[in-house]
Amino acid sequence: MKSLANIAGCVDDIMATCGDHPELLVQYLCRIQWRYNCIPPEAIELLAVRLGLPVAHIRGVIGFYAFLHETPRGDFNILISDSITDQMLGSRALLDRLCRQLGVQAGVARADGRVTVDTTSCTGMCDQGPALLVNGFALTRLDVARVDAVAALVEAGTPVQDWPAAFFAVEDNIRRRDRLLNAPRSTDGALRLFLQQGADAMLETIDRSGLRGRGGAGFRTASKWRFCRQAPGGRRYVVCNADEGEPGTFKDRVLLNSFADEVFEGMTLCAGITGAQQGFLYLRGEYRYLLEALESVLARRRSAGLLGRDILGRQGFDFDIAIHMGAGAYVCGEESALIESLEGKRGIPRKRPPFPVTRGLRQQPTVVNNVETLFAATCIARFGADWFRASGTEQSTGTKLLSVSGDCVRPGIYEYPLGVTVGQVIEDCGAEHAQAVQLAGAAGTIIPRDEFDTRISYEDVDTGGAFMVFGPERDLLDMVRNFVHFFAHESCGFCTPCRVGGTLLKNLVDKVYAGRAGEYDLQKIRDICRLMRDTSHCGLGSATPNPVMSTLEKVPSIYRRRLCTSDYEPAFDLEAELEEARRITGRDDSGAHIGRET
């Protein structure tokens, strides 16, 4: 069990490093969690006094984020990815094996406090899974040998930093490059051109390029920057949304690992155009292993005069970037929830309008852009609007990075001009026999084999990047189940349609899966989907029905072949529920069973 010594000293150190402000609450809590594997009550009391916040508020924030815990986790806190592609690679069997080896029950700390083994949603390593997080660090390519080695290291008490480095290797796996990934590298080319041309001309270039947000929403980037620039407000902010939590998406991981300069330069360019002086990169908790390297890139850029005061000698061009960690909340990928989290609160999505471009962080105009969008903006600034428009289609200019995973020979990152067909990607990644692709992750849509001529573009079907391949032997209802469980788990609970509807939907899909559903249940599923889509407060709730609705429409056989003949079957299985009572009372006679003849 980790020593709880010197909590006050630890809190002092963290506040000295991060700064001293209630908005940094989530950042303090992350670091306390990293140090003690929990948030001890003494730390909560100290933070409450130091920040002038109610204890209940701090506990509410801890309870919101999956990676923060008041109850101690084991010294080795192991979270195995439960994403559908990792399940397809055998993650469940590896989880069982690890639990057996270590003598633990999933989700319960071992009595000696040595280890906790649990599951987590997608870790962003779908191209090199199954993966796990140990004390926050990603360990890839799990197999039986690696699981056995992990168990031995845990039993020996070997500190994670002394585990074999090969376990933690995360490869970029770039399989196809197009104009963005092939562009000559530079740390400051876009900024120098910006200073030569001025903000108006550069904004015009971004506008003419037709660049649209690459996170999935597809809003025109130049419009967002212009709205923020024109909005009344004292201060402005630029936020890079690196909370890449959509299952099956991992392109931002690669860009942050190998193209961080371009991403930070894109933020600085946006600041130059909008007049922002402060930027934040909100980094997904699962990518904690990137934090140190990203801080080094920022430090190098400060020394080179690319961040800080008077950037590149231009008086008054002041901008700097801080990295804030996420803590395991998928909903924080929604821009207003992300802003709430940046302000140190639970990541509950805000009511919109007003949109962040007019009232965002600290109620000031704020641009929130995806990692890939900022990377593309830097390249457009350097090579021009026509260079970018030369790829893609009329409404979907440029290229798109796809995160390809699942049943294919060559999973990884593929950059294509927008308008590429699903079939082309299938051919390139080595998945000729695929029965279907799930495009855009859990919130996306199914593309069955007879629709592989579908084009990936805003005119046809768009995607934030996830491209999950399902081979001919897969049961697509497994995928649907995985996604509805995921959404029910990730709902922030703020609004009833999503909080209750998500659980009802999960239960009904489970009922179909168990072969206990009828037509009535399918109709119920449709009704709940419609209600969630139309009345949820934010995109998470309205997108939850997507995988269900699209499979019901395009591959209904995955439901129909499981329906039982009766028209209505209750969800509650009374006979099964009586099993516990029979066990306790030691009865197994006919009177202890429903409907058994006496």
- Which residues of the shown chain bind ligand SF4 in the complex (CB under 6 A)? 331, 349, 491-495, 498-499, 536-538, 540-541
Of residues 116 and 536, the one with the C-beta less far from ligand SF4 = 536
Q: How far is the CB of 329 from ligand SF4 (least distance, A)?
A: 10
Question: Rounded to the nearest whole angstrom, what is the least distance from the CB of residue 431 to ligand SF4 in the complex?
Answer: 32
Query: CB pairs under 8 A, 24+ apart, for 98-105?
Result: 98/147, 98/150, 98/151, 101/147, 101/148, 101/151, 102/151, 102/154, 102/155, 104/74
- Rounded to the nearest whole angstrom, what is the least distance from the CB of residue 330 to ligand SF4 in the complex? 9
Q: How far is the CB of 244 from ligand SF4 (least distance, A)?
A: 17
Nearer to ligand SF4, 495 or 504 (CB): 495
> What is the Cα–Cα distance from 84 to 590, expressed in whole angstroms?
42
108 vs 423: CA distance, rounded Å: 44
The two three-digit tokens of residue 315, written as one number: 């008086």
Q: Which is nearer to ligand SF4, 252 or 490 (CB)?
A: 490
Least Å distance, CB 523 to ligand SF4, is 23
For the chain, the C-alpha Rg in angstroms (whole number) is 25
Q: Over 172-219, what HEC string results?
A: CCEEECCHHHHCCCCCCHHHHHHHHHCHHHHHHHHHHHCCECCCCCCC
Q: What is the C-alpha to C-alpha distance for residues 215 and 371, in angstroms, rounded to an integer?
A: 8
Cα gap 135→138, rounded to integer Å: 9
C-alpha–C-alpha distance, residues 500 and 532, integer Å:
9
User: How far is Cα 161 from Cα 154, in angstroms, rounded to an integer?
Assistant: 12
Q: Which residue is nearest to ligand SF4 (CB)?
A: 541
- Cα separation, 330 vs 84, in Å, equals 16
Q: Which is nearer to ligand SF4, 36 or 494 (CB)?
A: 494
317 or 487, CB closer to ligand SF4?
487
Considering the complex, what minimum distance in angstroms separates the CB of residue 423 from ligand SF4?
A: 34
| Shortest CB 488 distance to ligand SF4, Å | 10
Closest by CA to 470, choosing from 414, 522, 549, 547, is 547
Kindly list the distances between the CA atom of residue 438 and the CA atoms of 376, 443, 446, 477, 521, in Å, as whole numbers in the listed order. 25, 9, 5, 12, 24
Nearer to ligand SF4, 78 or 337 (CB): 337
Specify the residue, 349 or 356, whose C-beta has the smaller distance to ligand SF4: 349
Residue 28 or 67: the one with the smaller Cβ distance to ligand SF4 is 67
- State how far the Cα of 331 lies from the Cα of 333, in Å rounded to an integer: 5
**Would you give the DSSP letter of residue 220?**
B
CB of 367 to ligand SF4, least distance (A): 22
